Amino acid sequence: MREIQFREALREAMNEEMRRDEKVFLMGEEVADYNGAYKVSQGMLDEFGPERIVDTPIAELGFAGIGVGAAMNGLRPIIEFMTFNFSLVAIDQVINSAAKMMSMSGGQFSVPIVFRGPTGNAGMLSSQHSQNFENWYANTPGLKVVVPCDPYDAKGLLKTAIRDNDPVIFMESELMYGDKGEVPEEEYLLPIGKAHVVREGSDVTLVSFGKMMKVAHEAADELQKKDISAEVINLRSVRPLDYATIVESVKKTNRLVVVEEAWPLASIATDISYNIQKDAFDYLDAPVKRVNSMDLPLPYAPTLIEAILPNVKRTIEAVEATMYI
């Protein structure tokens, strides 16, 4: 199977859906003439023209609102945020308009829109450009929140998101755009709301999503050297969240560690911990452990970034704490 970059997988998904459905269009800062801030939309202006690949001013609230209105009137916008940190400027349109419109209109208006762009730490970008808002958006009824971890997931999930009749938050990683992975040439779709068991194991369940899957995979490799067999689950989406797959895994391994880049308070890991103790308490041989970023704004210095973010060492320590309690 061929290998392509994460950004190329996203581009293929958008190209294929725009060829399939003329109602789909892309709008955001630098998506057209500049070929995208991260070159995700490279070449799309040449194929689809300025009416469907639309450059915007630096005005997230404005073009997010235009997208919501367009979706309510039958189009299928893809709204690109240069980073989800900037989505805070547009959060009123995302939460108070897109997420609520179906309910407030009594089902008269659907909002088939995708808000996509990078989330989380992207290197030495400091506090205002390094935040994770997956748990914020996942706390909003009416939204779906998808976080792919590799090119295969990126293409299959984005195609599904574009076809979805509900608003979808599609959160990528700036640090992963150059990552390569196997992607089929034939069309495929991945379901939103179904987790993927990417590695079978018997001693502990590791759950993660997005770029933190790299930490989970590396930790599982290191644990194997210690004769600890880790089952690794890739959530793919955090709303809806596939609790059933995690429960079935915990019934087998009897231990759970959740690795997530966001801050610990009210995190996805917190919600998973509650639901697993609610639905699989009798199968747990140890308390659920969370590995989150420390409860601090992310600094600029690379040494401090490394100390604050989840890493393999902290993940292994969390697993060992469940094994030797």
Q: Would you mind telling me the total number of residues written for the chain in this entry?
A: 325
Select from 23, 126, 21 the least CA-distant residue to 83. Answer: 126
Backbone dihedral angles phi then psi of residue 74, each to the nearest 5 degrees? 105, -5
- Beta strand 53-55 with 230-234 is unpaired
Distinct helix (H) and strand (E) counts, the chain: 12, 14
Strand partners of residue 208: 234
CA 196 to chain centre: 14
Q: What pLDDT, in 10s, does the model give residues 61-119?
A: 999 999 999 999 999 999 999 999 999 999 999 999 999 999 999 999 999 999 999 99
**How much is the average pLDDT of 266-285?**
97
pLDDT at 325: 64
pLDDT at 114: 98
Q: Specify the 3-state DSSP secondary structure of 139.
A: coil
Neighbours of 159 (CB within 10 A): 20
Alpha-carbon torsion 174, 180, 185, 189, what sign?
A: negative
- Say if residue 274 is exposed, middle or buried (CB neighbours under 10 Å; 0-12, 13-18, 19+): exposed
| CATH architecture for the domain at 3-182 | 3-Layer(aba) Sandwich (3.40)
Task: Give the chain's mean pLDDT.
Answer: 96
Q: Which two tokens stand for residue 153?
A: 């997931």
pLDDT at 159: 98
- The answer to whether 3-182 and 196-323 have equal CATH topology is yes
CA 278, CA 272: separation in Å to the nearest integer? 10
Domain boundaries, the chain: 3-182, 196-323
Q: How confident is the model at residue 123 (pLDDT cuts 50, 70, 90)?
A: confident
**How much is the average pLDDT of 244-248?**
98
- The answer to whether 250 and 277 are in contact (CB under 8 A) is no
Q: What pLDDT, in 10s, does the model give residues 164-209?
A: 999 999 999 999 999 999 999 999 999 999 999 999 999 999 999 9
Predicted confidence (pLDDT) at residue 241 exceeds the cutoff of 90: yes
Predicted confidence (pLDDT) at residue 319 exceeds the cutoff of 70: yes
- Say if residue 283 is exposed, middle or buried (CB neighbours under 10 Å; 0-12, 13-18, 19+): middle
Share of the chain above pLDDT 70, in %: 100
Query: What's the topology of domain 196-323?
Result: Rossmann fold (3.40.50)
Catalytic residues: 60, 129
